[in-house]
Amino acid sequence: MEIFTITSFTRDISRIDLIGTLLGHIIFAVALTQLLDWTWLKNLMSEEDKTKLLNSYTWKDLLVDGAIVTVFIGIIFLIISFFYK
């Protein structure tokens, strides 16, 4: 029965609502990134550990990271596609 709730919701929302919601989330993410203090991140690893990590990073790691990003973007497009029926 939840599928009927989703389809009725997609009929009630317009493209402007969807675009406004997405842009609002992006603006909030940028603002939150600017407001938070990220200086603690550089203290997580020493310079030697960072160098070792970057030297051991291979093309297979890059391929896996690219696949994760691709799946994430695919899920976002799947969610958006529900609104464009």
Q: Name the residue range of residue 45's domain.
A: 2-83
Give the percent of the chain with pLDDT over 90.
22
The model's pTM is 0.43
User: Is residue 83 classed exposed, middle or buried when 0-12, 13-18 and 19+ CB atoms within 10 A define those classes?
Assistant: middle
Looking at residue 39, its pLDDT comes to 81
Looking at residue 15, its pLDDT comes to 75
Looking at residue 64, its pLDDT comes to 93
- The CA dihedral of 69, 71, 73, 75, to the nearest 10 degrees, is -150
Q: What is the mean pLDDT of residues 35-60?
A: 85
- Per the structure, the count of domains in the chain is 1
Q: What is the mean pLDDT of residues 56-81?
A: 90
